[in-house]
Chains A and B, each alone.
Chain A
């Protein structure tokens, strides 16, 4: 790809702006709830047999799509005891009562999944702050009796009741190159030159990596980054026209050099999907 001088300058300017804003926004994000906090998912039913195993499904989705430590009903019974379900029923949805159960189960928050029927099936999700003993957010959905919400729908409900930051999962791409001064592109974004610090990215996602340096054959690779995972890319750039053994070609290096390692990845929000919603706040006056 050829980049004109003007576009290259614009791109460089954007990098500076993005970096500056990432730094500026970081403290605000850090003030949000711990994305790895323990959240208990409890179920509360009021005379309805609809949506069986709904708490288990929600717990599974949250494990898959967040970094939260999810305590489902089975796990909570091990610490709280067999009276868990009866005690939740006895709470009748009262936040302070549910919070007390959540505290004994070792949770910072409780996601109380309520199922009742009033013509339609009413599914409610309440996010209860265990320490404050108050409902931080609550939603209610009316569902036709015959409708079983799919995973996308359930995840959508969860995203409305839990902070957006809980659903921002990250991974790390660690790039090692055999020479310094190669420009690193992640997708279309220039991320710096080698040697380069580990890059924190949204996960799960697939990224195209490209390293270029004048006089060398560009190195390209496509990596899939799992949530909380670390992908190591070992890039070997060879001189143009140098020939050499087959094992020195870039694509061999790309295949051989990508290593997925377990680990922790928390960092800057480096990319963003097209939004489907916007935050809303209000003032009563």
Chain B
């Protein structure tokens, strides 16, 4: 990626002298005035529907080690050229790019595939793939749907996936891996939304979860059933190695070790409910040698885990302990001191750039006879903290209320509706969109309406109503404002109604957007350049 014009085995002084002379030789032609330069190629798709549009500025974010990132923003000229000032010299510089429109919306995002080296007297070239901030959802009916997180629902695309995708993973921003329930692994190019020229793989057994290493070199597929393991796929070649597990692996995460190698962590014995409070197990393995996987007792009922790409930390969501814990796969040690406490029943967690977000849930119960089901409200709880436990914040979101519409009371000037307060709401999955400005969430809700009225013959006037929904949200964690909300399913079941029943049938109010491709249950989510 980097092109060194001069160098070699010369001593420091000699090398600098030759570099200087080399620069003198090219300076008049280039019209520049200093030694060395960095030329970045921001690779955007040719396909108009996939190409970031309306970008006015480009922000280059550079980070060296654990230093604070440096952001430089400049206007994009009519020829697509941008002058980004200066970059510091360094051995390992991580670069990312953000394109924004005049309203400061993120319309394109990209990251270099790995760190680059910048040295004085050296011309360095690097390519950064830049894509729209797409979130992909997979589900039944061969659905692979893309949402542009920056522009509301103006761009919802159906991507041809071939087999029915069940799980998804972002592969370095340039491809999306989709894995079917039967273990067929294939890739879609994010530049074309067509099949990518990466080798397909057929795994033995289905997929319960999937994630790629941040550099896109490896895809990890968590499996259960007759094949309790994590399959580690080398994306470029399709070579598969297996990390055997003592039971079904329901979640998987990846992080970077101190030696620069990637480590995988699988979750066995996931806490699937708020009362499943037995201890979980963690399967840890270096991606370079998955067969050496070891199993460690987590010491807590873990519902989800997330790896921070650079720090080597995996965050565990302790569902019954209402807290987040840290785990380092290299040392095999779970730190018992929580980095976030007081987040009720966390079920989804994601980490990016040294910060972690988690979503739990809570509800208000009552013994009042006026509330036969005993639940007044249910809501999600959002938590966030740095990986060292600093800046910890826990924020309850608004209680979930679903409005249902009476179907047989269709008057031109009047509607009959009921507001049902949720009995249960639970985050199913969470991804951090690039830059950490927004979160995308899959959640499910259960709502119940009690029967009302007496028709005088032992029946009721309004039947009891059970509603289940599944939704996709994009929201700003700093303000908890939801910027996109798509209700992917909404099912209503009514109980028996009396002889003189007033409104026997109810339907979900179409006030929340539904997928253009029709209702479906999401089973997988991935965000380009995002983190889970």
Q: Contact check: which of A119, A160, A279, A282 meets B391 at CB < 8 Å?
A: A119
> A275, B89: Cβ atoms under 8 Å?
yes
Asked if B28 and A282 sit within 8 Å, CB to CB, the answer is no
A284/B130 contact (C-beta < 8 A), A25-B28, A134-B75, A164-B34 known: yes
**Which listed segment binds B: A135-143, A169-177, A205-213?**
A135-143
Assembled-state Cα–Cα distance A276/B41 (Å): 23
Q: Judge whether A280 and B27 touch: CB under 8 Å.
A: no
Chain A residue with Cβ nearest B28: A24
Contact at B31–A280, with CB atoms within 8 Å?
Answer: no
Contact with B along A138-165 (1 / 0, CB 8 A): 1111110000000000000001110010
Q: How far is the CB of A147 from chain B (nearest CB, A)?
A: 9
Q: Which of B320-359 contact A (CB under 8 A)?
A: none
**Selected interface stretch from B65-73, B158-166, B243-251:** B65-73
Q: Return A154 CB to nearest CB of chain B, in Å.
A: 14
Q: Which residues of A contact B32 (CB under 8 A)?
A: 28, 279
B25-57 vs A, Cβ < 8 Å mask (1 yes, 0 no): 001100111111111111110000000000101
**Which B-chain residue is minimally distant from A29 (CB atoms)?**
B33
The reply to whether A275 and B36 contact each other, CB–CB distance below 8 Å, is yes
Closest to B124 in A: A278
For B107-122 the 0/1 string (1 means CB < 8 A from A) is 0000000000010100
| B120 cross-chain contacts in A, Cβ below 8 A | 274-275, 278
A269-B35 Cα distance, complex, nearest whole Å:
14
The residue among A25, A29, A272, A284 with the most chain B CB atoms within 10 A of its own CB is A284
The reply to whether B70 and A160 contact each other, CB–CB distance below 8 Å, is yes
Q: Is the pair A135, B75 in contact by a Cβ cutoff of 8 Å?
A: yes
Q: Looking at the complex, which of B76-84, B409-417, B505-513 is the stretch in contact with chain A? A: B76-84
Whether B73 contacts A139 by the Cβ 8 Å rule is yes
Most buried by B among A118, A137, A138, A278: A278
**Is A277 located at the chain interface by the 8 A CB criterion?**
yes
CB distance from A276 to the nearest CB of B (A): 6
Q: Are B87 and A280 in contact (CB under 8 A)?
A: yes
Q: Would A279 and B86 be within 8 Å (CB), given that A118-B478, A141-B70, A284-B76 are in contact?
A: yes
Q: What's the minimum C-beta distance from B423 to chain A, rounded to whole angstroms?
A: 34
| A240-285 at interface with B (beta carbon < 8 Å) | 269, 272, 274-285
A17 at the interface (CB under 8 A from B): yes
In the bound complex, what is the Cα–Cα distance between A24 and B60 (angstroms)? Answer: 31
Contact of B81 among A138, A143, A282 (CB under 8 A): A282
Complex CA gap A280/B28 in Å reads: 18
* B260 proximity list for chain A (CB < 8 A): none
Residues of B within 8 A of A274 (CB): 120
Asked whether A140 and B71 contact (CB < 8 A) given A28-B33, A283-B42, the answer is yes
- Number of B interface residues, CB 8 Å? 49
Residues in A with CB closer than 8 Å to B55 are 284
Determine if A21 is an interface residue (Cβ-Cβ < 8 Å). Answer: yes
Whether A284 and B82, one on each chain, are in contact in the complex, defined by CB atoms closer than 8 angstroms, is: yes
Task: Verify if B74 is at the interface (C-beta below 8 Å from A).
Answer: yes
In Å, the complex CA distance between A92 and B98 comes to 22
Contact size range, A = 35 or more
Output the residue of A17, A24, A138, A281 with the most chain B CB within 10 A.
A281
A18 to chain B, nearest CB (A): 8
- When the two chains form the complex, which single residue of B24, B42, B70 contacts A284, counting CB atoms closer than 8 Å? B42
> Are the CB atoms of B86 and A141 closer together than 8 Å?
no
Of A134, A139, A281, which is within 8 A of B82 by CB? Answer: A281
B446 CB contacts on chain A under 8 angstroms: none
The secondary structure that dominates the B interface is: strand
B36 A283 Cβ-Cβ under 8 A: no
Q: In the bound complex, how far is the Cα of B74 from the Cα of A181, in angstroms? A: 51
Q: Are B57 and A135 in contact, with the CB atoms below 8 A?
A: yes
A28 — which chain B residues lie within 8 A by C-beta? 31-33
Instruction: Note all chain A residues with C-beta closer than 8 A to B59.
Output: 138
Cα(A76)–Cα(B117), bound, Å: 43
Residue pair B68, A285 in contact (C-beta under 8 Å): no
Could you give, for residues 279-311 of chain B, a 1 whenever the CB lies within 8 Å of some chain A CB and a 0 otherwise?
000000000000000000000000000000000
Cβ–Cβ < 8 Å partners of B75 in chain A: 134-136
Contact B82 A25 (CB under 8 A): no
Asked if A280 contacts B41 (CB within 8 A), the reply is: no
Which among B83, B88, B391, B478 is the interface contact of A281 at CB below 8 angstroms? Answer: B83
Instruction: Report the minimum CB–CB distance from A212 to chain B (whole Å).
Output: 24
Q: How far is the CA of A138 from the CA of B61 in the complex (A)?
A: 12
Q: CB < 8 Å: which of B34, B40, B86, B118 contacts A282?
A: B40
Task: Determine whether the beta carbon of B28 is less than 8 Å from that of A160.
Answer: no
* B149 at the binding interface (Cβ < 8 Å): no
- B474 lies within 8 A of chain A by Cβ: no
Which chain B residue lies CB-closest to A285?
A: B80
Q: A277-B87, A283-B80 are in contact. Are A138 and B33 (CB under 8 A)?
A: no
With A24-B28, A275-B35, A283-B81 given, is the CB distance from A164 to B71 under 8 Å?
no
Quick one: closest B residue to A160, CB to CB? B85
Chain B residues with CB under 8 Å of A159's CB are 86
A285 touches B73 (CB 8 A): no
- Do residues A141 and B40 form an inter-chain contact, with CB atoms below 8 A? no
Q: Which residues of B contact A29 (CB under 8 A)?
A: 33
Asked if B135 CB lies within 8 Å of chain A CBs, one says no
Q: When the two chains form their complex, are residues A135 and B34 in contact, meaning their CB atoms are under 8 A apart?
A: no
User: A residues within 8 A CB of B81?
Assistant: 281-284
Docked CA distance A266–B461 (Å): 91
B24 x A160 contact (CB < 8 A): no
Residue of A nearest to B46 (CB): A285
Q: Give the distance in Å from the alpha carbon of A278 to the alpha carbon of B117 in the complex.
A: 12
CB distance from B158 to the nearest CB of A (A): 27
B253 close to chain A: CB less than 8 A: no
Contact A278 B31, CB 8 Å, known A138-B57, A142-B69, A160-B72: no
Query: Is the beta-carbon distance between B84 and A278 smaller than 8 angstroms?
Result: no
B58 at the interface (CB under 8 A from A): yes
In the complex, the answer to whether B80 meets A284 with C-beta atoms within 8 Å is yes
Nearest-Cβ distance from residue B405 to partner chain A, whole angstroms = 40
On whether the beta carbons of B85 and A280 are closer than 8 Å, the reply is: yes
Cα–Cα distance between A10 and B490 once the two chains are bound (Å): 83
Query: A139 with B70: in contact, given A160-B85, A281-B39 (CB under 8 Å)?
Result: yes
Interface membership of chain B positions 476-487, coded 1 if the CB is closer than 8 angstroms to chain A and 0 otherwise: 001000000000
- Give the residues in chain B near A142, CB-CB below 8 Å: 68-69
Q: Report whether B39 and A282 are in contact in the complex, using a CB–CB cutoff of 8 Å.
A: yes
Which residues does chain A contribute within 8 Å of B43, judged by CB atoms?
Answer: 285
CB distance from A220 to the nearest CB of B (A): 25
23 sample A-B contacts, Cβ–Cβ < 8 Å, listed by A number: A21-B24, A24-B28, A25-B31, A28-B33, A118-B478, A135-B73, A136-B75, A137-B74, A138-B57, A139-B70, A160-B86, A164-B86, A275-B35, A275-B120, A277-B89, A278-B36, A278-B38, A278-B120, A279-B87, A280-B39, A281-B81, A281-B82, A283-B82
Chain B interfacial positions (CB closer than 8 Å to A)? 24, 27-28, 31-44, 55, 57-60, 68-76, 80-89, 97, 99, 118, 120, 124, 130, 391, 478
Which residues of A approach B to under 8 Å, CB–CB? 17-18, 21, 24-25, 28-29, 118-119, 134-143, 159-161, 164, 269, 272, 274-285
